[in-house]
Structure 1
């Protein structure tokens, strides 16, 4: 990221765990700081620049989901949720809010660091200067893999890094059917702890961003029992 040390904010009411995470990340070359509650986290987010937020879900008062909603309303800061709850409904809610990954406690520091690097890699290209001839144009949809910017006609489209990675994979191969597992690799790498239903949530959010009527999508088609494919709607010229 332009040569600067990547800054990570760790938010967890378990202060000893937050310190362990910060110490490990510092040893791995990151700059990190911790907050033990949601209000302090929001203050730090407003006061400083961060590259990624590691956010515990189950905090008293303002919980992690509430913090994430406020963060997503203001900026596109990548978020990795931490939680002791492994229920699929919690994971789905985390991704619906706009989380980029979801790590269940207990976890190893090595795994968390690997997931942090994966999310940072997906978002890092947004820091680069756009290069010529990199746009993918599919009908009214324009996607720049270098700047990670998406436009629908003249309107910018806001996506999380994970959503961008999925959309990029789909638009790069129009009319090809991708299984959920194939798309899952774009979001989670080699980790198998993320449910395939996660992809359905990401697709739902992408459709909200690019479709006039998400309940009757024109761009991203569901192939029942298999996965999804991207198609250029009739009447739109494909470049």
Structure 2
């Protein structure tokens, strides 16, 4: 069903996650810090990484940044801190989802399944060669390639899907919930800032001045849109 790397310096937490994942049919590899996780990634292909934030030697934030430089594997971050600043920090490094400790193991399993289901859909989809051009922004759907002002932009899979959704429907306003359900392929079951953080990350990568965006516009009280 898939190979999942669990990275946490707490062996008891690794054991709990390992048992639940194994019971769902997944193969599990464990690592106790970010440096060890990078070693595993260099040696074999993985389907998903569950990555704790607070760890010795190399923490989850640094590890996530290094992983994103070379791999597209989905990443779910774990943290004992519940503040929005921690969530923003985790997602800004390229994480695809975020779960706070203490967590319900079944909720984590549901997040894992959602990420793997999304990856499977993307990998198996027969995407026609379609290109969207909006002023200096170019999106090649088939090649999963984005450039702005002639420079390639590296996006995470979720950032690419959000950008594609907005660019393919110019002028249409999408609420945060609609974006979540369209991209994550699941109902919004909790309130958080996940979509807002990904929009912010996109603006940081695409806009000359993220505080005054030219491409991804906010319609206050409604959602987000992109005009031609």
For normalisation by structure 1, the TM-score amounts to: 0.82
Query: Which secondary structure does the structure 2 equivalent of 1:207 belong to?
Result: helix
Greater displacement, 183-192 / 55-64? 183-192
* Residue 190 of structure 1 pairs with residue 187 of structure 2: yes
> 1:188·1:194 contact (CA, 8 Å) conserved in 2?
no
What does residue 180 of structure 1 align with?
Answer: 176
What does residue 16 of structure 2 align with?
Answer: 20
What does residue 237 of structure 1 align with?
Answer: none
Alpha-carbon separation, structure 2, partners of 1:83 and 1:171: 33
* Residue 69 of structure 1 pairs with residue 65 of structure 2: yes
What does residue 78 of structure 2 align with?
Answer: 82
Pairwise CA distance, 1:36: 1.4
Out of 202, 214, 218, the position equivalent to 1:218 is 214
Alpha-carbon separation, structure 1, partners of 2:206 and 2:120: 23
Consecutive unaligned residues of structure 1, counting only runs of 5 or more, are 233-239
For these two proteins, the number of residue pairs brought into alignment is: 227
For normalisation by structure 2, the TM-score amounts to: 0.85
What does residue 104 of structure 2 align with?
Answer: 108
Greater displacement, 33-42 / 210-219? 210-219
> 1:8·1:30 contact (CA, 8 Å) conserved in 2?
yes
Distance 1:188 1:194, change over 3 A: farther
> 1:128·1:147 contact (CA, 8 Å) conserved in 2?
no
* Residue 95 of structure 1 pairs with residue 91 of structure 2: yes
* Residue 6 of structure 1 pairs with residue 14 of structure 2: no
Greater displacement, 151-160 / 58-67? 151-160
Greater displacement, 5-14 / 179-188? 179-188
> 1:125·1:148 contact (CA, 8 Å) conserved in 2?
no
Coordinate RMSD, CA, aligned: 2.6
Pairwise CA distance, 1:132: 2.7
> 1:170·1:230 contact (CA, 8 Å) conserved in 2?
yes
Out of 103, 114, 118, the position equivalent to 2:114 is 118
Query: Which secondary structure does the structure 2 equivalent of 1:73 belong to?
Result: helix
What does residue 157 of structure 1 align with?
Answer: 153
Query: Which secondary structure does the structure 2 equivalent of 1:178 belong to?
Result: coil
What does residue 123 of structure 2 align with?
Answer: 127
Out of 46, 53, 56, the position equivalent to 2:52 is 56
